[in-house]
Amino acid sequence: MSIESQNVTDYPNSNTIFMVWKLNDSPQLKDIFQQLCALVLNLNNSAFNRFPDSRVSCVMGIGYEAWKKLELPVPLPKELVHFEEIKGTKHTAVSTPGDLHFHLRADNKSLIFDMAVEISKLLGSVAESILEIHGFKYWDARSILGFVDGTENPHGEDRDYFAKIGDEDPQYKGGSYLFVQKYLHDMNAWKSLSMEEQEKVIGRSKENDIEMSDDVKPANSHIALANIEGENGEELKIVRDNMPFGSPSSNEFGTYFIAYASTFGTTKKMLTNMFIGNPPGNYDRILDFSTAVTGTLFFVPTRNMLDEFSG
């Protein structure tokens, strides 16, 4: 039987809903979870058949504590752990709870809104919603800070290579390690910078998204620290699907950082560079303007595994 992954390598689109749920100890929990796995498969199949050009998908991730609580029929994935905070001299990649994560995408927001309603109806008796964010495409894929986001994302076959587990871990082949953070931006402080200063924080030009040359790019720029290499100089990448969100009336603006990776080690190395610094103390300058208020690791099982979990 062929392995079918969830839609972790789909490209970002116009509308997204992110949801994080915390499970309770209801005696119905395992039965509801079986129904949930079947629902996720059904939502994807139905939406694709009804609206094949809408680029719609529902991706579900499962956290470390949930995997144990649900007593799933396969062992914990090797790198699925409780994420421990990464604390630098000034900024911290915090660790926050989360048992189930849903990443809903579509060009038409009506589709994912209805998906979120169905998921919430099913989970309401056995779980608590602890985070819900409605993201949107801002101009030409820019963050609220005004810079293009996701330029370094892999394309083509590289998306599968960097986002999905391969033959090195056959039991979980096609699965993915999902890490998420909600960032809040200090827009007043950001706007107090000149455009030239902002570009030095990011490491790219603001207008046309051109990376600075190495002799000009500051060592503490976001690009310099978020782009990482392995021990032998090989390129290490993740598949980002970041989305901006905001509430102008409450002055809350942010970015939901979401990374799919074949190994959490790659994401963790990037976070360490950003928050502790490379070398230590040389932290990512963007953190002076963007604060991580959540941080949770999940595992995204294949569709085959969801089918198995559904009973």
Separation CA 180–CA 19 (nearest Å)? 11
User: Residue 130: is it exposed, middle or buried by C-beta count within 10 angstroms (0-12/13-18/19+)?
Assistant: middle
Separation CA 29–CA 189 (nearest Å)? 45
In the chain, the amino acid numbered 136 is F
Cα-trace Rg, the chain: 19
User: What letter would DSSP give residue 30?
Assistant: H
Distant-in-sequence, close-in-space partners of 6: CB < 8 Å, separation ≥ 6: 44, 57, 59, 60, 176, 300, 301, 302, 303, 306
Q: Which residues of 45-74 are buried (b: 16+ CB within 10 A; e: fewer)?
A: eebeeeeeebbbbbbbbbbbebbebbebee
Question: CA angle at residue 182 from 284 to 247, to 5 degrees?
Answer: 115
Which position among 149, 215, 241, 284 bears the catalytic label?
A: 149
Q: Check if the beta carbon of residue 239 is closer than 8 Å to that of residue 8.
A: yes
* Cis preceding-peptide flag for 279 (omega within 30 of 0): yes
User: What letter would DSSP give residue 215?
Assistant: T
- Run of H or E residues at 253: strand 252-261
Does the active-site annotation cover 31? no
> How many of the other CB atoms lie within 10 Å of CB of 102?
22
Distant-in-sequence, close-in-space partners of 303: CB < 8 Å, separation ≥ 6: 4, 5, 6, 41, 44
Which residues are catalytically annotated? Answer: 149
